[in-house]
Amino acid sequence: MMPAQFRIDLFNEIRELLGNFEPVVLQGVLQELGGLSRAKGNEGAAARFGLTLARQCTVAEGSSSPQPVDDQVIAWARENRGMVVTNDRRVRDALLADGLGVISMRKQKKLEIVRK
């Protein structure tokens, strides 16, 4: 929901950082955004915008166990050595502890790659 909240062009910003990349979204993230998109106000609008962006991504299955979506994202990134775009501190810290890169907002203006 970061692109709607901070008014950034997510894919162009990532392309500036990484060059060519393949955006991937987990099925669980889509389901979570679908639920949030029913809300009114800014959160619902941000989730609907997130779903629009997700249509441009490859959809991947997360864990088959009923774990929280954040944990599925962490597990997928670990298995695939993928970089994750997030502002969630717990997700970021877990990925950095494993030596994975994270893309997050810097001063609510620009994306940056964070590495440990």
Lowest average pLDDT, out of 3-7, 93-97, 103-107, goes to 3-7
State the chain's mean pLDDT as an integer.
89
Q: What's the predicted TM-score (pTM) here?
A: 0.85
Q: In what order do the strands lie in the sheet with 102-106?
A: 84-85, 102-106, 110-114
- The yes-or-no verdict on residue 109 having pLDDT over 80 is no
Task: Summarize pLDDT for 7-46 with one digit per residue, the tens.
Answer: 778 899 999 999 999 999 999 999 999 999 999 998 899 8
One DSSP character per residue, 46-109 reads: HHHHHHHHHTTSEEE---SS---HHHHHHHHHHHHT--EE---HHHHHHHHHTT--EEEEETTT
Task: Summarize pLDDT for 61-78 with one digit per residue, the tens.
Answer: 876 667 899 999 999 999
| Cα 37 to Cα 19: distance, rounded to the nearest angstrom | 30
Name the one residue in this structure whose structure tokens are 């970061």.
2
The CATH homologous superfamily for domain 1-114 is 5'-nuclease (3.40.50.1010)
